[in-house]
Every structure is written in C-alpha cells, then in structure tokens.
Amino acid sequence: MSETNEVSALELAALMCSRVCHDIISPVGAITNGLEVLADDDDPEMKDHAMELITKSATQASAKLQFARICFGAGGSAGAELDLQDAKAVAEGLMASERPTLSWDAPAATLGKDYVKLLLNMMLIGAAAIPRGGEVAVKVENGTATPTITVRSTGTAARVPEETQKFLGGLPEEGTLDARSVQPYFTGLVARSLGLSISARMDGEAFVIEAGFVDGGSGV
C-alpha cells in the first residue's frame, strides 16, 4: 500500500491527543467513582473496595501516561537516545493490565528515540492483533545502528487488525482517520521517517509486524 493522502500536522496532533485521552479516560473515571464511594458510603467493606479500585486505576492511568509519553510524545530532545530497559519497563507497566502477556528480547543498550517510539507502537499493534489474549513477543536484532524490529503475536484468533491493514501504509483516498485508526497510521509514518520498510502479515496462525532496512515496500 502506498501513501496517497497526507494528514495535516494539526489534524494529526488532534487525533493523537484524542487517542491518549481515549486510553486514560476509563481508569481516571474509575478513580472518580472510587472517590465518590469514599465520600458518600460509610460501609467499611465498600470503602475497602473503593480504595482497591482507586489504587488499581491510578496504577493503570500512570502506566498508560508513562507509556504514551515515549510512544507518542517527544521522549527527549532532538537526536536523543533512549535506554531499551526503560522502554521495557514502560511496556511491562502497560501490558500488566492487558490480556496478552509480553516477551521482550532486546539488547541492554540505548537506541534512537524514534526507533524506540516505533517499537512501542508496533507492540500496541501486536496486542491489538490478539484481543482474546496470548503472547506479544518483541525482538530487536541486527545491532542498534541499523536495527530490525519484530513483534510476533500468538493467541486465539490472531489476525491483522483492520485499521493496520488499511492505514499502516498511509492514508488511502477513501480513508478517514479517527482516534482508533490514527495509531497504525502514525506507526507507518514513524517507520518511513526512519527510512524503514514496515510490514504486517500473518505467519501461519501468528501475527507478525516487522520493520527494518530492507528493499521493497511496506508489504501491507
């Protein structure tokens, strides 16, 4: 798939903000509900339940925001590198509240911030490919100067997510982005800005998304 349309910087920024808000509204709403119970209910058991809800939801909200800061945000100054162990930590924090489990195979090294941004976005797509749960396996190889990033998702009914199939390679003539589909579109933009080819496909019963310095197009 080739990119046939462009999204303005203003529209892209608005859609990415909508995506982040969409991700954190649920745990923040749960915190609000828990605080209301603490204020209005005198039942000790209900108060204990409310505190558990607040604690769990606050942890989820914090994990989502820390992840989004690197995955979607600037993540440091221009030309900065990020520690892959830090990326692993925010990835594990996010996935702790998701159905799939995370497997991480990457060197203990620093990597250009945009490569890390790409890796985390690919991980999100990998998780979306197995909504019923399973394993998302992240792998970084071929060194840190010219890395190849692979995410392999195995689980029940694994499939290429519809939004990834449609938008990873760019915005088609008939395509309309929203807060859900902007993430795979953004993933493709990051890959192409790095000069990488990116592909999403089924490999038997597993979903694979891969980015690297190889010949050819996106393969989507």
Q: How confident is the prediction for the chain on average, in pLDDT?
A: 91
Q: State the pLDDT at residue 4.
A: 47
In angstroms, the CA 27 to CA 60 distance is: 6
Residue 134 has pLDDT above 60, yes or no: yes
Which numeric CATH code is attached to 9-212?
A: 3.30.565.10
Q: Which two tokens stand for residue 108?
A: 């203990």
Gyration radius of the chain's alpha carbons:
19
Q: State the pLDDT at residue 10.
A: 94
In angstroms, the CA 83 to CA 183 distance is: 23
Domain ranges of the chain: 9-212
In angstroms, the CA 143 to CA 122 distance is: 18
If pLDDT is split at 50, 70 and 90, which confidence band does 79 have? low
If pLDDT is split at 50, 70 and 90, which confidence band does 5 have? low
pLDDT in tens, 177-204: 998 899 999 999 999 999 999 999 999 9
If pLDDT is split at 50, 70 and 90, which confidence band does 69 have? very high
Q: State the pLDDT at residue 75.
A: 63
Secondary structure class of 108 (helix, strand, coil): coil
Q: State the pLDDT at residue 219.
A: 43
pLDDT in tens, 82-99: 999 999 999 999 999 999
pLDDT in tens, 141-160: 998 889 999 999 999 999 99
